[in-house]
């Protein structure tokens, strides 16, 4: 039986897609077995009256290792 865990992260990018990809890439550096990402919400960061970048609030699901014999 496998066990999954969900963590919530904030990530930024020049597009919404880039922000999602950034979230997955950053999480993948510290955990293995990433399976899903759910974007709960996104925001546009405004600078000088224009959209500068996007931020996503994402929930990332990964499988927890079962090291039991």
Tell me the pTM.
0.82
**Domain assignment present for 69:** no
Answer positive or negative: Cα dihedral of 36, 6, 46, 18: negative
pLDDT in tens, 1-20: 678 999 999 999 999 999 99
Predicted pLDDT of residue 65: 77
- The H or E element that residue 3 is part of is strand 3-13
CATH of the domain at 56: 3.30.1660.10
pLDDT in tens, 10-52: 999 999 999 999 999 999 999 988 999 999 999 999 999 999 9
Max Cα–Cα distance, the chain, nearest Å: 58
**Domain assignment present for 8:** yes
Dist. CA 65–CA 43, nearest whole Å: 33
Domain containing 23 equals 3-64
**Domain assignment present for 42:** yes
**Domain assignment present for 16:** yes
**Domain assignment present for 53:** yes
Number of domains in the chain: 1
């Amino acid at each position: 039986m496998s066990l999954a865990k969900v963590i919530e992260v904030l990530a930024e990018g020049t597009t919404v897609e880039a922000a999602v990809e950034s979230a997955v890439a950053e999480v993948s550096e510290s955990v293995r077995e990433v399976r899903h990402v759910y974007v709960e919400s996104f925001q546009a960061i405004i600078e000088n009256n224009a959209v500068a970048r996007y931020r996503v609030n994402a929930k990332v699901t990964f499988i927890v290792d079962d090291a039991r014999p």
